[in-house]
Structure 1
């Protein structure tokens, strides 16, 4: 019995991180995680590994072989270790615990990654901007901000996204699913941030004021966009014609003038539009809806812009002036007609 205990004793230690092993070979293989050495290569694809067993397991990705099976559910795996880890989904066993907060994990690797949330260690660094990350997956996602890569594509409309959660949210625009709702007005929303922004129409809260003109906004994003009206900043440029825009949304709409894309179609007559608001306004030609009413005479209009123009009949406002003689006009078309009398 003592022989067995001694045989299981971990008497070999890593001089770098202090990890212990039952034999010298274990230390040698482990040290490669520090040196980066990968002396064993796959003859098919050239991938390199720190141990022979790593090559053996990797080869099964080419052969498709999964020789180890779960006795409970029949799932197959490439290595015996993966079966042991998988079995914990049935037993509920979590043998690796965090010494700081007590959280438990099914895999040692997950526990070690979790520990970085306590130590603040960020071992993955971006070679372009030097930003550091706790997890490798975070670095991979971050790199897309530099490369512009959008690996997640919508099978319905073809739009691509940098992150899978963005694609999942986008798909709701096709399914019509609106999972976010409030009891105040019973309206539902596709996006959570849209729901919170809508709620401020009930509370009238506008916690973000402009320091230049004093206007307040419901979100910091709206304030940032508004500030560009003061600074003149237009950070979004068209690569085709060079036109610049203060909002990314406006650039997206503009690009359709080059592509000819009209993604919003009327289900009644088939007319297509580049913008959703244009489709909404068009639908009123079928429904007869006129939601904008004049408070003076009660006339109703399908477009807000038409109501604004109509109001000049009551206010006497004439915002269009002739540059030649200074005559003023209520409507732009009247000014242009007048200009022809000078030419």
Structure 2
């Protein structure tokens, strides 16, 4: 047993007592007596519930509270209770805002010392906790313990309602709110409520205008870090989410999820009215507006309203004259990106839309659809006045002018008006003398393409218009019409 020896090297006015085992010194015998059991391996005080042993009796007393649930240390401000007095001391700092532990590097302050220790690692880069399986390292021990569950697959926290399992207790508690509907975090500005504190903090930036995450390349700033990460891929070209079937890659995970439905045919979003199914929720919501008649996006200039916001944006360019999409080859400008891509095919010669019947190909899908009608004979556009049917809507609208007498295309030189714009273009040539169509054989020039084709028959000898009565053929339809009158005249003479 250690002996009590006064330490004369220290203050001679007081008796100091030293431990023979570790040379620690104390002001009283009582303090030394308390210290000595730390060297004795035997732990004299045992918990009758779980068997844990302790050197000091007061440690056992505190430990027993974990079994009894006793929390004798109360906060007089908010009523919170704690097992140990030192826990209450730390808690009180949340009310006093005292932060006695300071970082010497950046000046940040903390309520608890262990929080300071963890913070300092952000400066030193120290990660003392390592995974024995994959070598990943962490600044905090509980982060390592959570990480290990990835390898073990263990999910120790289970939802008592639906039996969903989680690796982290926090995630299980958050999940429980989907059953209870609890949203404990409220926005003081607008009253919106949230299940997660993080979501409420992000929402607050709508009111404060704070965008703490900035792009170092272009300076764009964002309210959420994930949005910055996605934005950076626009500079790096990174597309980390790849389709295992066709190899297409995407910047965002949700884009890959939507893409996969092309292969699976999955359409999880259904219209409750007509049963139509959609691969994307946004498309289903837009479809619903067909039934409701809702057009929430209105033009402030002319009053036209639209189901989709991007349609309104495109429409506004009619008023502003904005054409933000330019062809890099000929500098033609377009109001819509799609029209610029279609225009580019003039330069590339690309015709991606092919007719399966005759093999004709087209630069635009609508042109292929109209062409298909030449094979099927479909004429979906009908005149409400006389019942005439047309394969193209534009032709039906032009036909309607026969009934309305409308001639919207006027010549600025002589004032003549026409039902078709094409007819005006041809008429203008009577003033300009332009003849853009030339015969390759004799170089005769014509204002209209049809007249040039008729002229070519002089050289080819082609006579495609035949009389059904006598079989005489003609190069021009007009000549056949005149010829038919000879049969009509002869029939009347008889």
TM superposition score category, shorter chain reference? 0.5 to 0.7
Cα RMSD for the two superposed structures:
4.3
Aligned to 2:154: 88
Aligned to 1:97: 170
Q: Helix, strand or coil for the counterpart of 1:88? A: coil
Aligned partners of 1:292 and 1:303 also within 8 Å: yes
Shift of 1:103: 1.8
The reply to whether residue 291 of structure 1 matches residue 362 of structure 2 is no
Aligned to 1:201: 290
CA gap 1:176/1:87 in 2 versus in 1, 3 angstroms: closer
Aligned to 1:65: none
Distance in 1 (alpha carbons) for counterparts of 2:401 and 2:246: 43
**Structure 2: where are the runs of 5+ without partners?**
1-52, 61-85, 88-99, 103-108, 137-143, 158-164, 177-195, 206-210, 434-494
Deviations 1:86-105 (A, max 9, x none): 4433763555438xx95269
**Structure 1: where are the runs of 5+ without partners?**
39-49, 61-78, 106-113
Shift of 1:167: 3.7
Query: What TM-score, normalized by structure 1, do the two folds share?
Result: 0.66
Aligned partners of 1:14 and 1:31 also within 8 Å: no
Aligned to 2:396: 307
Greater Cα shift, 222-231 or 239-248: 239-248
Aligned to 2:54: 2
Query: What TM-score, normalized by structure 2, do the two folds share?
Result: 0.49
From 281, 294, 313, give the equivalent of 1:224. Answer: 313
Distance in 2 (alpha carbons) for counterparts of 1:94 and 1:53: 19
CA gap 1:250/1:103 in 2 versus in 1, 3 angstroms: same
From 188, 198, 205, give the equivalent of 1:116. Answer: 198
Distance in 2 (alpha carbons) for counterparts of 1:169 and 1:304: 34
Deviations 1:237-287 (A, max 9, x none): 334443332223333333433444444344444444333333332332333
Distance in 1 (alpha carbons) for counterparts of 2:397 and 2:248: 36
From 262, 271, 290, give the equivalent of 1:182. Answer: 271
Aligned to 1:210: 299
Greater Cα shift, 122-131 or 316-325: 122-131
Aligned to 2:182: none
Aligned partners of 2:417 and 2:424 also within 8 Å: yes
CA gap 1:82/1:176 in 2 versus in 1, 3 angstroms: closer
CA gap 1:130/1:18 in 2 versus in 1, 3 angstroms: farther
Number of residue pairs the alignment of both structures matches = 296
CA gap 1:142/1:336 in 2 versus in 1, 3 angstroms: closer
Distance in 2 (alpha carbons) for counterparts of 1:28 and 1:144: 34
Distance in 1 (alpha carbons) for counterparts of 2:368 and 2:266: 20
- Write the mapping of 1:107-146 to structure 2, written as runs, cut at 5 A: 115-120=197-202, 124-127=213-216, 128-129=218-219, 131-135=221-225, 137-145=226-234
Distance in 2 (alpha carbons) for counterparts of 1:155 and 1:330: 55
Considering only CA atoms, is the larger Rg found in Structure 1 or Structure 2?
Answer: 2
Shift of 1:164: 3.2
Aligned to 2:332: 243
Distance in 1 (alpha carbons) for counterparts of 2:266 and 2:425: 48
Distance in 2 (alpha carbons) for counterparts of 1:158 and 1:256: 25
Aligned partners of 2:131 and 2:148 also within 8 Å: no
